[in-house]
Structure 1
Amino acid sequence: MLILGIILFGMLIGAGAQLILGKPKGGIDWTLAIIAGLVGSFIGGLLISLISGDGIGFHISGIIGSIVGALIVTAGWHWWVGRRAA
């Protein structure tokens, strides 16, 4: 059940990152949302939580770090796909 919750949380964070950055084609790429959310949450959320001294708990610093991490992963993906298409 915890793993399902983590995947759902990552998917929502990744979808939010796509909505914040905007998507050229419209709509949400759910595969990218899951990947960006999970990777961004793991890297950004864990890093910010440990830097702020909150530990590995569910705190607002981890949520902010998750969003920032997902934004970075999503922006990097859009840059990579745009670079290959050009």
Structure 2
Amino acid sequence: MSGVGLIGAIIIGILAGWIAEQIMKRNHGLLTNLVVGVVGSFLGAFAASALGIAWGGFIGSLLISTLGAILLLALLGLIKKS
């Protein structure tokens, strides 16, 4: 999440967690959305850099963070089912 600052990163984390929650049909609170979004942003940034994808700014960071948060929720869902 380059170039968005701390407040922007928090807002992106909350939005990414909420969007992922809606897509994965889960029901979490604001704090959980923030944690899922922030951890998802690290996961998404790692995956994007491994694939050679470089998106900057608010929209790019939100997209990568949301995809990472969806991946995180999917992985957690697989672990819980086991």
Equivalent residues, number = 77
**Paired residues of 2:12 and 2:65 also in contact (CA < 8 A):** no
- Alignment RMSD: 2.6
Deviating runs (4+, > 4 A) in structure 1? 59-62
**Paired residues of 1:45 and 1:69 also in contact (CA < 8 A):** yes
In structure 2, what is the equivalent of residue 65 of structure 1? 64
Q: Distance in 2 between matches of 1:79 and 1:22?
A: 15
Q: Distance in 2 between matches of 1:78 and 1:31?
A: 19
Q: Where in structure 1 are there 5+ consecutive unaligned residues?
A: none
**Paired residues of 1:39 and 1:70 also in contact (CA < 8 A):** yes
Q: Which amino acid aligns with 2:74?
A: A
Give the percent of matched residue pairs that are identical in Structure 1 and Structure 2. Answer: 26
Is the aligned partner of 1:42 residue 2:45?
Answer: no
**Paired residues of 1:18 and 1:28 also in contact (CA < 8 A):** yes
**Paired residues of 2:40 and 2:71 also in contact (CA < 8 A):** yes
Q: State the Cα distance separating 1:20 from its structure 2 match.
A: 0.2
Q: Which amino acid aligns with 1:21?
A: M
Q: Where in structure 2 are there 5+ consecutive unaligned residues?
A: none
**Paired residues of 1:44 and 1:69 also in contact (CA < 8 A):** yes
Match of 1:21 among 18, 24, 39: 24
Q: Please, what TM-score do these two structures have when normalized by structure 1?
A: 0.65
SS where residue 22 of structure 1 aligns? coil
